[in-house]
Amino acid sequence: MAKKLYVGGLSYNTTEAALREAFSKAGTVESASIIMDKMSGRSKGFGFVEMSNDDEAQAAIDMFNGKDLDGRNLTVNEARPKEDRPQRSGGNWRS
């Protein structure tokens, strides 16, 4: 079963292809995505990599956590499920 990893501390210049290529050294990468800011279209500096199994995911954590990629030290750990957040008020909406 695939295991999703959080990858933080990414350089704004790192591409999804480069992320996939780097993590493929630890095993089979099912997917790699970098989270982009909707307004600017620029990377938010983090993303997710899905490895094909738990052993490869652990190998990727061991290989990349605290290590340099494109001049930045990465934080790599198991991704937590997205938490339900309370609905935000949208400003000065008046009826």
User: What kind of architecture, by CATH, is found in domain 3-75?
Assistant: 2-Layer Sandwich (3.30)
Identify the residue with better confidence: 61 or 1. 61
Does pLDDT of 94 surpass 60?
no
* Region 12-40 average pLDDT: 96
Averaged confidence pLDDT in the chain: 91
What is the pLDDT, as a whole number, of residue 25?
A: 97
What percent of the chain clears pLDDT 90, i.e. is strictly above it?
A: 81
Tokens standing for residue 77: 């750990």
pLDDT of amino acid 68: 95
